[in-house]
Amino acid sequence: MAAPRCPFPSLLLLALLALSAPALLRVRADGGEDARKTYIFRVDHRAKPSVFPTHERWYASAAFASSPDAAPLEPLHVYGTVFHGFSASVPASRAAELRRHPAVLAAFEDRARPLHTTRSPQFMGLRARLGLWSLADYGSDVIVGVLDTGVWPERRSLSDRNLPPVPARWRGGCDAGPGFPASSCNKKLVGARFFSQGHAAHYGASAVASNGSVEFMSPRDADGHGTHTATTAAGSVAYEASMEGYASGVAKGVAPKARVAAYKVCWKGAGCMDSDILAGFDRAVADGVDVISVSIGGGSGVTAPFYLDPIAIGAYGAVSRGVFVATSAGNEGPTSMSVTNVAPWLATVGAGTIDRNFPAEIVLGDGRRLSGVSLYSGKPLTNSSLPLYYPGRTGGLSASLCMENSIDPSLVKGKIVVCDRGSSPRVAKGMVVKEAGGAAMVLTNGEANGEGLVGDAHVLPACAVGEKEGDALKAYAANASNPTATISFGGTVVGVKPAPVVASFSARGPNGLVPEILKPDFIAPGVNILAAWTGATGPTGLEADTRRTEFNILSGTSMACPHASGAAALLRSAHPGWSPAAIRSALMTTAVVTDNRGGPVGEEAEPGRAATPFDYGAGHITLGKALDPGLVYDAGEEDYVAFMCSIGYEPNAIEVVTHKPVSCAAAAASGSDLNYPSISVVLRGGNQSRTVTRTATNVGAQASATYTARVQMAAGSGVSVSVKPERLVFSPGARKQSFAVTVAAAPSGPPAAAPVHGYLAWSDGGGGHEVRSPVVVTWLQPM
């Protein structure tokens, strides 16, 4: 296979290693060349001999064995909907033999992926009995599949009270298992399945609870993440909801009447195996879901090419069958080029704040007051002032981070302990302090997190502060002769300004794999989100946390993703004929880039700095406008195939994704020409100009409409953008119109290395529509 063009020099070596044919069967040195590993095999399903009634029988037969002496395969999963092939645990030598089988198109090693770990529907513009909620009947005819850690079915957020019958087209089922009878499903939770084969092959069959934690060999959620994401997307209305008093009110998902189908592909403490994720995609599409929500991703930086990425492959199979797929962008922000899940058929969702906060205040012995956040709900500090201690002064790096067994109990007993953020979970640091005898904790951000704050339900009185406040606190602890402090907790505050701002942890662009596609696509609420929680663990997720809560408050792009999934469910219900690309387009072109003060959306990590499309994509989704976007930028299989051709993928590599033979034109178009709602233009070397095309489809109520273009780029950028034609005239016989966008740099040459941002907006004047696309121009030198 030929490697796709790799635009960033820092990625070249890794890309070449990842894309070369021998690397399709990567073998780690730590396990020995013939160590047994799990591989995923993409098979040409048309090659099955007719004598075999099913593909599963063929894969397990002697006829498919790699040699006459080889034992028949024992597939872990057999895929037949979004992907054709199987996964199996075999020695590396056997995998290499199978790779040479004439029907095997590709093979890649299974790997584990991490999870990307109320008021938010209203913050996105939803109102009871009005607009999208009313028109879509709150999503009652739509089924949202959630690939995650399972579900806790007894929660009120999964009640089917007052719901109509399950849509007749639903083909799913309810897998029974320990603690999860088939009767756990209802008209709300219409399906629940679990996939453990890849997990068991990787960690061992007895590893489900080998870390000492509770886990269930069933769809039941021992972790909490899956219950939270499922009910964020489509939780039923639950009154008097709160997390131990915080965020009290009425909890409901974005699409509160949509049905939920839970696919447990992730296991507590072990992450999610690619082979199980792919099986979840395969089953969800076969069951008949309309939307798939995937708060799972790879690590920061290099992203695998699409034909080696099971999430991209599974999602393509789903999208090609009309299923909308939303994925989380990742939590590696604010690092540049950290965004993951970047395939153009996916909706990639970053995280923003909402106008709600949970303030805490630290009062120092010298009278200064420092602001922080906390979800601590236990007994308040009884003393007006306690000794303040920072272990990092004398204990080294491990002590400064409050790692396990790093703190001397004799030095912290009865004191407020200052801990630096990083290396271990935030809540785990609080447990370390508590077990060492500390009275309270202040968690301080460093440069990596800046001023971005996340509330946690700590096991002792504790709060988090930003980098500046943390530096001031540690300086006081170091220089005062008798440093003291106290912490007070402010409960829940709404109407916070500014909001939204881009969450500090939200992964950032540019797209490290294909810079011509701007990612993330948009941001959605992802900070301090209230939703239902498992009954198997406390709100911190720590084994030592014996508290149990019906709801929990979490932050992450994992929380932002189901907001987009729920939004897509509402749009699918309101516009059942729209494609997944049209739904994504409506969310993108109506997104907002201003906050609730009327200023530009800013950066949580750097207050006062305006965010850019690399941070928020098209902006923050707002569903009041997405219902009627005016125009959409649609795309389908032919467009995505042409796109993959344009970035240098060979037809046999593309076939791994598409499941059908493809051919590439002799002169492939640019990746920038994909009919995407955002416009990202890459000027390479001395090339000072580039023209890209787009096609807009009129989906407005008025078939006859005229739209006029308006372009705005940053002043002094040295870039001009022109649109031809400048007016698009639609009629009943002409619902689609194409246009060209030409980006040109000043004759004096490209400006500084920083990309240039702006936007293109199409307006129909009195019709009330403004269809907005971010425009990003980047210069790259040839490699």
pLDDT digits (tens, 9 = 90+) for 384-395: 899 999 998 887
Q: Is the pLDDT of residue 673 over 90?
A: yes
List C-alpha distances in Å: 330 to 114, 334, 469, 504, 615: 9, 10, 27, 11, 12
**What DSSP character marks residue 48?**
-
Annotated active-site residue 225? The verdict is yes
pLDDT digits (tens, 9 = 90+) for 459-507: 999 999 999 999 999 999 999 999 999 999 999 999 999 999 999 999 9
Q: Is the pLDDT of residue 34 over 70?
A: no
Distance from the Cα of residue 419 to its chain's centroid: 29
What local confidence, expressed as pLDDT, does residue 749 receive? Answer: 54
What local confidence, expressed as pLDDT, does residue 719 receive? Answer: 87
- In this structure, of 151-165, 177-191, 683-697, 723-737, the range with the lowest mean pLDDT score is 683-697
Token pair recorded at residue 642? 């042409």
Nearest-angstrom CA–CA distance, 711 and 758: 8
Distance from the Cα of residue 489 to its chain's centroid: 31
Q: Which segments of 285-439 are extended strands (E)?
A: 291-294, 324-328, 347-352, 356-357, 359-364, 369-373, 386-389, 416-420
H/E stretch holding 92? helix 92-99
What local confidence, expressed as pLDDT, does residue 780 receive? Answer: 76
Nearest-angstrom CA–CA distance, 328 and 297: 7
- In this structure, of 12-16, 568-572, 588-592, 766-770, the range with the lowest mean pLDDT score is 12-16
Token pair recorded at residue 350? 């970053």
H/E stretch holding 248? strand 246-251
Residue with tokens 């923003």: 352
What local confidence, expressed as pLDDT, does residue 10 receive? Answer: 33
What local confidence, expressed as pLDDT, does residue 117 receive? Answer: 61
List C-alpha distances in Å: 468 to 28, 231, 329, 490, 607: 43, 36, 27, 21, 11
Nearest-angstrom CA–CA distance, 96 and 357: 54
At CA 557, angle to CA 259 and CA 210, rounded to 5? 80
Q: Which of 3, 20, 15 is nearest to 650 (CA)?
A: 3
In this structure, whether the domain defined by 675-779 belongs to CATH 3.30.230.10 is answered with no
What local confidence, expressed as pLDDT, does residue 504 receive? Answer: 92
Distance from the Cα of residue 145 to its chain's centroid: 15
- In the chain, CATH 3.50.30.30 covers 359-491
What local confidence, expressed as pLDDT, does residue 629 receive? Answer: 96
Q: Which residues pair with 260 in a beta bridge?
A: 144, 189
Radius of gyration of the CA atoms of the chain, in A: 26
- In the chain, CATH 2.60.40.2310 covers 675-779
Q: Is the pLDDT of residue 19 over 60?
A: no
Nearest-angstrom CA–CA distance, 308 and 23: 10
Catalytic residue among 55, 77, 199, 225: 225
b/e 316-333 (16+ beta carbons within 10 angstroms → b): bbbbbeebbbbbbbbbbb
Nearest-angstrom CA–CA distance, 85 and 79: 5
DSSP for 179-222 reads: TB-GGG--SSEEEEEE--HHHHHHH-TTGGGTTS----SSSB-S
Nearest-angstrom CA–CA distance, 330 and 508: 9
> To the nearest 10°, the Cα dihedral for 642, 644, 649, 655?
-80
What local confidence, expressed as pLDDT, does residue 753 receive? Answer: 62
Contact indicator for 588, 751 with CB cutoff of 8 Å = no
pLDDT digits (tens, 9 = 90+) for 281-309: 999 999 999 999 999 986 544 478 999 99
Cβ neighbours around 108 below 10 Å, total: 24
Cβ neighbours around 549 below 10 Å, total: 19
Annotated active-site residue 458? The verdict is no
Q: Is the pLDDT of residue 118 over 80?
A: no
Q: Which of 739, 775, 745, 773 is nearest to 757 (CA)?
A: 775
List C-alpha distances in Å: 636 to 155, 580, 674, 745: 38, 9, 10, 32
pLDDT digits (tens, 9 = 90+) for 257-279: 999 999 999 999 888 999 999 99
pLDDT digits (tens, 9 = 90+) for 123-147: 545 445 445 555 555 667 899 999 9
- In this structure, of 2-6, 188-192, 604-608, 741-745, the range with the lowest mean pLDDT score is 2-6
Q: Which segments of 466-576 are extended strands (E)?
A: 484-489, 493-494, 501-502, 522-525, 529-532, 551-554
What local confidence, expressed as pLDDT, does residue 394 receive? Answer: 80
Nearest-angstrom CA–CA distance, 361 and 21: 57
pLDDT digits (tens, 9 = 90+) for 220-258: 999 999 999 999 999 999 999 998 888 989 899 999 999
Q: Which of 501, 693, 695, 475 is nearest to 592 (CA)?
A: 501
- What would the mean pLDDT of 699-723 be, rounded to a whole number? 90
Contact indicator for 647, 5 with CB cutoff of 8 Å = yes
Confidence of residue 715 (pLDDT cuts 50, 70, 90): confident
Nearest-angstrom CA–CA distance, 218 and 174: 10
Q: Which residues pair with 442 in a beta bridge?
A: 418, 463
Phi first, then psi: give them for residue 107, nearest 5 degrees.
-150, 140
What local confidence, expressed as pLDDT, does residue 751 receive? Answer: 52
Q: Is the pLDDT of residue 685 over 60?
A: yes
Q: Which residues pair with 600 in a beta bridge?
A: 594
Q: Is the pLDDT of residue 335 over 50?
A: yes
Contact indicator for 320, 581 with CB cutoff of 8 Å = no
Token pair recorded at residue 143? 């089924």
Q: What percent of the chain has pLDDT over 90?
A: 70
Catalytic residue among 558, 565, 573, 585: 558
Predicted TM-score (pTM) of the model is 0.89
Domain 359-491: give its CATH architecture.
3-Layer(bba) Sandwich (3.50)
Amino acid 777 reads V
Using DSSP, state whether 93 is helix, strand or coil: helix
Distance from the Cα of residue 632 to its chain's centroid: 23
Q: Is the pLDDT of residue 9 over 60?
A: no
Residue with tokens 């979800």: 375
- In this structure, of 298-302, 416-420, 504-508, 548-552, the range with the lowest mean pLDDT score is 298-302
What local confidence, expressed as pLDDT, does residue 207 receive? Answer: 56
- In this structure, of 67-71, 333-337, 598-602, the range with the lowest mean pLDDT score is 67-71
What local confidence, expressed as pLDDT, does residue 746 receive? Answer: 72
What local confidence, expressed as pLDDT, does residue 453 receive? Answer: 86
Contact indicator for 296, 311 with CB cutoff of 8 Å = yes
Mean residue pLDDT of the chain comes to 87
**What DSSP character marks residue 41?**
E
- In the chain, CATH 3.40.50.200 covers 120-355+500-616
Nearest-angstrom CA–CA distance, 665 and 41: 28
Contact indicator for 614, 522 with CB cutoff of 8 Å = no
What local confidence, expressed as pLDDT, does residue 669 receive? Answer: 73
Amino acid 393 reads R
Token pair recorded at residue 440? 């309270």
Annotated active-site residue 160? The verdict is no
What local confidence, expressed as pLDDT, does residue 157 receive? Answer: 97
Residues 6+ apart with CB under 8 A from 208: 196, 199, 200, 215, 217, 267
Q: Which residues pair with 79 in a beta bridge?
A: 85
Q: Which segments of 458-521 are extended strands (E)?
A: 462-465, 484-489, 493-494, 501-502
> To the nearest 10°, the Cα dihedral for 207, 210, 215, 218?
20
Amino acid 467 reads E
Residue with tokens 């095999």: 41
Contact indicator for 783, 6 with CB cutoff of 8 Å = yes
Burial label, 367 (beta-carbon count in 10 A; 0-12, 13-18, 19+): exposed
Q: Which of 324, 730, 369 is nearest to 316 (CA)?
A: 324
Burial label, 582 (beta-carbon count in 10 A; 0-12, 13-18, 19+): buried
Q: Which residues pair with 569 in a beta bridge?
A: none
Indicate the fold that domain 37-109 takes in CATH. Alpha-Beta Plaits (3.30.70)
Nearest-angstrom CA–CA distance, 443 and 460: 12
What local confidence, expressed as pLDDT, does residue 576 receive? Answer: 94
What local confidence, expressed as pLDDT, does residue 299 receive? Answer: 58
Burial label, 339 (beta-carbon count in 10 A; 0-12, 13-18, 19+): buried
What local confidence, expressed as pLDDT, does residue 7 receive? Answer: 36
Helices 392-400 and 467-479 meet at what angle, rounded to 10? Answer: 150
Confidence of residue 114 (pLDDT cuts 50, 70, 90): confident
Token pair recorded at residue 721? 């953008």
**What DSSP character marks residue 4?**
P
b/e 668-705 (16+ beta carbons within 10 angstroms → b): bebbbbbbbbbbbbbbeeeebebebebebbbbbeeeeb
- In this structure, of 3-12, 42-51, 195-204, 510-519, the range with the lowest mean pLDDT score is 3-12
Indicate the fold that domain 120-355+500-616 takes in CATH. Rossmann fold (3.40.50)
Strands 727-730 and 705-713: antiparallel
What local confidence, expressed as pLDDT, does residue 423 receive? Answer: 83
Q: Which segments of 29-113 are extended strands (E)?
A: 36-43, 77-80, 84-91, 104-109, 112-113
Catalytic residue among 110, 141, 148, 521: 148
